[in-house]
Amino acid sequence: MSTEAKTDRLNKRFSELKESGRAGLVTFITAGDPSIEISQQLLDALPDSGADVIEIGMPFSDPMADGPAIQAASLRALSAGASLAGTLEMVKRFREKDSETPIILMGYFNPIYQYGSSRFVNDAISVGVDGLILVDLPPEEDDELCDPARTAGLHWIRLVTPTTDPERLRTVLANSSGFVYYVSIAGITGTKAASVGSVADAVSRIKDTTALPIAVGFGIRTPEQVRNVAAVADAVVVGSAIVETIEQHATGDRPDPESLKAQVLTLVKNLAAGTRR
């Protein structure tokens, strides 16, 4: 039943990155932001602009671990008609052209709970999703989605935070695979950045406990920050900076889809340059 036997895009991608001696760039966009159509076009163009792994946010009305930028992105997407089924459809279309770039869906549990956990797992696998990050499903709630998702062959990626002590770290890593997402600040997405020194310490501490690749995110916005974090981690996650660029171009009086796409993809290219020496 495991899809890992077929292709494990995520493990393969991290092996390739390791071989080429560089960190990966993980980019985040919210499905359906600012419209279903533009969001699909952005998604399809991300790999060529330098995204090694793509995280797609599943819109939710009440994303309580996210900052204003990502919450606003969710609300824009929802008013544009986004839904969980629509997010899966986006991945399906993406996979028609790209069978290599790993896709991680990130979000909150309630939309999946309404969709049905086992139906969601089946559909996610069949459209070509590689892994899941569920912000509000800690290990204490593993039976809700983590267990069935892992059994079916999806990666389950967890957040490790500065508040995660060594004992908790073992609990957090127990049922996870793919990579570890280190949240470099105690806080919400899109706020201040952590110092490179503290990130390096944390990454080496986590590496003592797991062989999984470590991706670092929260508060990373510029190519320079990407370069600094890339020196100490296996991948760098950028979300709010991309989403804010979408917002700037989506909320004006005359939104211009072409300049929006150009701006976002230029930003991604510049960020990607930070992962390449």
Partner 1 sequence: MASHQSPANPLESYRSGPDERGHFGIFGGRFVAETLMPLILELEAAYEEAKQSPEFQRDFDYYAAHYIGRPSPLYFAESLTKRLGGAKIYFKRDELNHTGAHKINNTLGQILLAKRMGKTRIIAETGAGQHGVATATVCALFDLPCVVYMGATDIERQAPNVFRMKLLGAEVVPVTSGTGTLKDAMNDALRDWVANVDNTFYIIGTVAGPHPYPMMVRDFQSVIGNETKEQILAAEGRLPDALVACIGGGSNAMGLFHPFLDDPVRIVGVEAGGLGVETGKHAASLTGGHPGVLHGNRTYLLQDPDGQIIDAHSISAGLDYPGIGPEHAWLFDQQRVDYVSVTDEEALEAFKLCCETEGIIPALEPAHALAHVSKLAPQMSPDEIIVMNLCGRGDKDIFTVAEALGVKL
Residues with catalytic roles:
55, 66
Q: What is the CA radius of gyration of the chain?
A: 17
DSSP SS3 for 131 = strand
Binding part of the chain for partner 1, among 17-25, 103-111, 124-132, 224-232 by CB under 8 A, reads 103-111
If we measure between CA atoms, which residue out of 123, 131, 121, 176 comes closest to residue 152?
Answer: 121
Print the binding letters for residues 170-209 with partner 1: x by CB under 8 A, - otherwise: --x----------x-xxxx--x------------------
Tell me the C-alpha distance between 83 and 68, whole Å: 20
Considering beta carbons, is residue 47 or 67 the nearer one to partner 1? 67
Tell me the C-alpha distance between 177 and 174, whole Å: 9
Considering beta carbons, is residue 194 or 265 the nearer one to partner 1? 194
Considering beta carbons, is residue 70 or 236 the nearer one to partner 1? 70
Contacting partner 1 within 22-61 (CB under 8 A): 59-61
Among 19, 96, 165, 208, binds partner 1 (CB under 8 A): 165
Considering beta carbons, is residue 17 or 70 the nearer one to partner 1? 70
Cβ–Cβ < 8 Å for 48, 8: no
Q: Compute the least distance from the CB of residue 52 to partner 1, in Å.
A: 24
If we measure between CA atoms, which residue out of 140, 145, 135 comes closest to residue 63?
Answer: 135
Considering beta carbons, is residue 29 or 135 the nearer one to partner 1? 135
Q: Compute the least distance from the CB of residue 209 to partner 1, in Å.
A: 15
Binding part of the chain for partner 1, among 130-138, 197-205, 221-229, 264-272 by CB under 8 A, reads 130-138
If we measure between CA atoms, which residue out of 30, 105, 26 comes closest to residue 61?
Answer: 30
Cβ–Cβ < 8 Å for 43, 98: no
Amino acid at 239: G
Beta carbons within 8 Å of 113's beta carbon, 6+ residues apart: 144
Binding region for partner 1 (CB under 8 A)? 59-65, 67-68, 71-72, 75, 78, 83-85, 108-115, 135-138, 140-141, 158-161, 163-165, 168, 172, 183, 185-188, 191
